[in-house]
Chain A
Amino acid sequence: MTALLTRLLGRLPIGWLQLRHNRNRLIAALAGVTFANLLIYMQLGFLGGLLNGISLPYASFDADILIQASDANTLQDGSPLPRNRMLEALAIPGVAEATPLYIFKMDWKQPDGTIRTLDVMGVDPRMANFRVAEIEAARPLLALSNAALIDRGTRNVPPELFDEIDAGRPYRIETANRSVNILGSFRIGGGFGADGVMVVSDQTFLKLFRNRTAGAPNIILVRAAPGQAIDPLIARLRAALPAADTAVRSVDEAIRRDQNFQTTQRPVGIVFGFGVVIGALVGIIIVYQVLASDVADHMREYATFKAIGYRQSFFLGVIFEEAVILALFGFLPGTALAIALYAAVKATAGLPLEMTGSRMLFMLLGTIIMCTLSGAIATRRLAKADPAALF
């Protein structure tokens, strides 16, 4: 290591030798960087899970354009739309199909008495509404009265239950109004809003939720005619539909809007963002403490080096050398621990935390910047090393 650094730096790796010399301090610093890394990774993991969870249902729609209520921020909130908007949309040149989608929340009481919340989506079973092969394959079943399909990714439900359903044994859910028969399963995956998704026909939906009417869906899925460019079609739809109650968006735009809303207006999103800042601060403070006390302990030695003729840039180099070493050696265990913790959270809480290469790269660069920043603050103390005070 020393030989490698000597070649890399073109000088004795004083920073490394100094860090290695004081084992306790090195361990404390590495623990601090690792901890800060882990903290930020978890926040980013939850944030990424939240963003991903928001996008998954949108991305599962077989649609090019979504027509939503103008007051809708997410899939579930917002007023229902007049169904007439669908007919108006169908009259626009370039629109191939438009179908209504109804959404409402349903509580699913488990045998143990606990409750899972499902986002129930009602669709016209004569049309292809989802890009999910399993739903498409089971679409004929949806036309049956009280039939339903369920997301296998639904949180905190024993997997055997889905195995039973897939093996051809329907599962019956009793609700206040009616019962539904779950005939099949699919996988969309959800975020933090609900535990999972259930898909039913529009007829079944309206029977389950008596206060909802066929004339007021939540979303209209629009498919463009083959070869039709999306942006001009969106412009035409916007021009034709009243902006007072209706918003027309591409699927990507709707996803971005929803993600933006949930990360800036909802407590969960804000808390995660805040956590990243706290993690970075923890790291900066711990690394600063270590580097600053290291400088303080070596004032006379640094003053001696100044007397010998070393320039300020040499001392900055030593501190930054220490900073980068701390960053690298804190990053590695931090990342390993985060991967393990992601897996643990996924297994126990069912939250979709995924480690990505770009996140690791972001963390590596972020950690180096964090440690360098601490080093930069710590080097201000070097000015006090006065070679004239040595004699």
Chain B
Amino acid sequence: MHPAISIAGLNHAFGEGEARRQVLFDINLAIPRGQFVILVGASGSGKTTLLTLLGCLRALQQGRVGLLGQELLGADEETRIACRRRLGFIFQAHNLHDSLTAMQNVRMGLDVHGIRPGADAAAEHALRLLGLGERLHYLPANLSGGQKQRVAVARALVGNPDIIFADEPTAALDWESAQQLLDIIRLLATERRTTTLMVTHDSRIMALADRILTMEDGRLVRDEAVPRA
């Protein structure tokens, strides 16, 4: 079976000519399925850029990236869209659609695979898992910041993604909600071999991960397994 993510000789630069600035240097990495990996590093070290490349949100420039067996170098937009549909994104901002209810927002994460019977039940289940059973038909305007973020998490997870990319998702979550999210991530990892790559600086979360990667100035400088107690 292919690893979830395999990276070899990945470089990336922004700008052109005089303004060209390389932000990722020779990244090499393999992440097997089912791992919960945390990415840390100073601001500007290239964590987000790496996530957008692995998330098929940006075209690769140089190096090879295999995502669930699909080579991303030179992949066209259609291939990238197909890849994205197997991923779940949790952004810092919730980016919920203001005219859609919590249920409808979550449905958007499912309907991308085509309308299926039972979609509403699945959306409701995802929201209940995140403690939002009482808020199913609320518009985002009537939810608290933490609740909105949890709706966004439900939207990312409802489609049963193979890989979850999360960029500081807990910034807007209280510790209880963050723990719910981590419980779900670990449940998915054991039940469905779902892989998670998360950028966070929360040391309480780091203790729960399988592996911690550290970036510095665009380079991967440390790759440590978290000792299991």
A interface vs B, CB < 8 Å?
Answer: 10-12, 14, 17-18, 20-22, 298, 300-301, 303-305, 307-311, 387-388, 390-391
Task: Among A12, A303, A388, point to the contact of B104 (Cβ < 8 A).
Answer: A12
Task: Among B51, B107, B112, point to the contact of A309 (Cβ < 8 A).
Answer: B112
B202 within 8 A of A: no
Question: Which B residue sits closest to A298, measured CB to CB?
Answer: B97
The A/B interface has a contact count, at CB < 8 Å, of 67
A301-B111 in contact given A307-B84, A309-B81 (Cβ < 8 Å): no
Task: Among A10, A11, A309, A391, point to the contact of B85 (Cβ < 8 A).
Answer: A309
Question: Which B residue sits closest to A21, measured CB to CB?
Answer: B99
Q: Are B91 and A305 in contact (CB under 8 A)?
A: no
Bitwise, B104-123 to A at CB < 8 A (1) or not (0) is 10011101100100000000
Q: Please name all residues of chain A whose beta carbon is closer than 8 Å to the beta carbon of B107 when the two chains form the complex.
A: 12
Q: Please name all residues of chain A whose beta carbon is closer than 8 Å to the beta carbon of B100 when the two chains form the complex.
A: 12, 14, 17
Question: Which A residue sits closest to B113, measured CB to CB?
Answer: A309
Q: Are B97 and A390 in contact (CB under 8 A)?
A: no
B98 within 8 A of A: yes
Report the contact-size class of chain B (Cβ under 8 Å from the partner): 20 to 34
B89 within 8 A of A: yes
B167 within 8 A of A: yes
29 pairs, A vs B, C-beta closer than 8 Å: A11-B111, A12-B108, A14-B97, A14-B99, A17-B99, A17-B100, A18-B97, A18-B99, A21-B99, A21-B139, A298-B97, A298-B98, A300-B95, A301-B96, A301-B97, A303-B95, A304-B95, A307-B57, A307-B89, A308-B84, A308-B89, A308-B108, A309-B81, A310-B112, A388-B57, A390-B95, A391-B48, A391-B51, A391-B52
Question: Which A residue sits closest to B92, measured CB to CB?
Answer: A391
B34 within 8 A of A: no
B interface vs A, CB < 8 Å?
Answer: 48, 51-52, 55, 57-58, 81-82, 84-85, 89, 91-93, 95-100, 104, 107-109, 111-112, 115, 139, 155, 167
A391-B98 in contact given A304-B91, A311-B81 (Cβ < 8 Å): no
Q: Please name all residues of chain B whose beta carbon is closer than 8 Å to the beta carbon of A307 when the two chains form the complex.
A: 55, 57, 84, 89
The answer for the CA separation of A390 and B91 in the assembled complex, in Å, is 7
Q: Are A391 and B96 in contact (CB under 8 A)?
A: no
Q: What is the minimal beta-carbon distance from B65 to any residue of chain A, in angstroms?
A: 15
Known interface pairs A10-B115, A11-B111, A308-B112; 14 further A-B residue pairs with C-beta atoms within 8 A, sorted by A's residue number = A12-B108, A298-B97, A298-B98, A300-B93, A300-B95, A301-B95, A301-B97, A308-B108, A308-B155, A311-B81, A387-B57, A388-B52, A391-B91, A391-B167
